[in-house]
Amino acid sequence: MWGDKRYHTLNYELRKIFGQKVMKLSLDGGFTCPNRDGTLGTKGCIFCGEEGSGEFAGSRCLSIKEQIEEQIKLLSRKWDTNRYIAYFQNFTNTYSTCEELRNIYFEAIEESGVVGLAIATRPDCLGEDVLDLLSELNEKTFLWIELGLQTIHEKSAKFIRRGYPLSTYDEAIEKLKKRNIRVVTHLIFGLPNESHNDILKSIRYVAKTNTWGVKFHLLYIQKGTDLYEYYLNNPFSLMDKDEYISLVIDGLELLPKEMIVHRVTGDGKKELLYEPKWSLDKLKVLSGIDNELKIRGSYQGKKYMI
């Protein structure tokens, strides 16, 4: 339905828009987070490591231009393209002064071959001045904003130390939609004490927002995080591969067909990953999802209800 996939991938959408493969370049803008600098907390979210969620991003010791050049050189071994999305990934990438944000964002989009900008942030870090800047960028480049919701359930949100209520996410979604800015929501599958049905409730909620995209992440235990320490002292059940694949397909069926699926599993660094080890074989997980969709005769949107 979407090329060789039964769900609406980002790769498919970007090829349709730009006529060729588009690579995401993971950049480090040098930001921190209100959940780390003492504004809301000092330890970050429970699953967050010292590099935020940007274990594969460029080095903050380099300029944005240098990071882009480095990332292109690295990724060109795998992909043959000259079109790129500058992706500010780790920590909270709208958490600074507008002057600094403007300088960093424009440095990225002015680089040769950069056709778009992706900014990962928190819904409680989108003040009116930041929204005005994002509106300006939205007129100049292909922009999307990524919000780390992870779950709609308050008990789980407190456990992961998310630091904001669901209503803050709702408000951010409405403000961004009013400005015609694309939004991508992150969800984590496998949080402690969340049932299969609990996770599907989160997916249904995000599906109803009718935002541009979604990311499905597997919960994995990474060494050096507070989640790692918690797991050692309070072991909880982790999903096996077949269980995860089945859940992803159940989730895809609940999404509207036009919603772009940016990710269906997580990426952990091999040297940092503690569990589950099966997640390291990303290609096997992806092919497992494709095969199971075919076996079920399923596809994205099969059970979506307006």
- The mean pLDDT of 7-22, rounded to a whole number, is 97
Band the pLDDT of 76: cuts 50, 70, 90.
confident
Query: What per-residue confidence (pLDDT) applies to 58?
Result: 66
Helix axes 241-254, 196-209, angle to 10 degrees: 30
Amino acid at 263: R
pLDDT digits (tens, 9 = 90+) for 245-281: 999 999 999 999 999 999 999 878 899 999 999 999 9
What pLDDT score does 228 carry?
Answer: 96
Phi, psi (degrees; rounded to nearest 5) at 207: -60, -35
Q: Which range, of 87-91, 124-128, 146-150, averages the lowest pLDDT?
A: 87-91
The helix (run of H) or strand (run of E) holding residue 201 is: helix 196-209
**Rg of the Cα atoms in the chain:** 18
Measured in residues, the chain has a length of 306
Long-range contacts of 279-284 (CB under 8 A, 24+ apart): 279/218, 279/220, 279/241, 284/241
Report CA dihedral (199, 201, 202, 203) to the nearest 10 degrees: 90
Determine the pLDDT at residue 80: 86
One-letter amino acid at 248 equals: V
56, pLDDT greater than 70: no
For each of the domains in the chain, give its residue range(s) and CATH number, in order of start: 10-296 (3.20.20.70)
* 169-208 pLDDT, tens digit each: 999 999 999 999 999 999 999 999 999 999 999 999 999 9
Query: Tell me, what's the pLDDT at 136?
Result: 98
> pLDDT tens digit string along 88-111?
998 899 999 999 999 999 999 999
- Answer yes or no: is pLDDT of 78 > 90: no
In angstroms, rounded to a whole number, what is the distance separating the alpha carbons of residues 150 and 164?
Answer: 12
